[in-house]
Amino acid sequence: MSLEIDVLRALLRLARRHTPPTLEQLVVRVGGEEADVRKALASLARNGLVQRTPAGLRLSLSGLAVAVACAQRPRTRPLARPQAPSSLPLVRRRRAA
């Protein structure tokens, strides 16, 4: 998963607090280097997903939508598709008349 998605998810988790998240909080939540988190924030701001305000960082409306959509997906690998039982025939056979 990309660092930008991890930053969006961290911003979503930190948005419940009444204070804007700091860069240090994001670095701790994401678990990356500070320079990498800064680059990810710059990329997200260029794409309109994060707004930089005098009070601090915040998710834009589109950033919130993307963060919620990504937060609903599991962080682990996707589930494997269920296998069809091998005992069932793939085609139904017609009965003899």
CA 94 vs CA 32, 39, 49, 85, 86: distances in Å: 61, 63, 57, 21, 20
pLDDT at residue 71 in the model: 79
* Burial class, 67, CB count within 10 angstroms (exposed 0-12 / middle 13-18 / buried 19+): buried
Total number of domains in the chain: 1
| Token pair of 93 as six digits | 């056979």
The answer to whether position 9 is within a domain reads: yes
Of the pLDDT bands very low, low, confident and very high (cuts 50, 70, 90), residue 56 is confident
pLDDT at residue 70 in the model: 85
The answer to whether position 63 is within a domain reads: yes
The answer to whether position 47 is within a domain reads: yes
Of the pLDDT bands very low, low, confident and very high (cuts 50, 70, 90), residue 17 is confident
Contact (CB, 8 A) for 64 and 28: no
91 versus 12: the higher-pLDDT residue is 12
The answer to whether position 45 is within a domain reads: yes
The answer to whether position 43 is within a domain reads: yes
Q: Which domain holds residue 67?
A: 3-71
Q: What is the CATH number of the domain that holds 55?
A: 1.10.10.10
Of the pLDDT bands very low, low, confident and very high (cuts 50, 70, 90), residue 90 is low
The answer to whether position 21 is within a domain reads: yes
The answer to whether position 22 is within a domain reads: yes
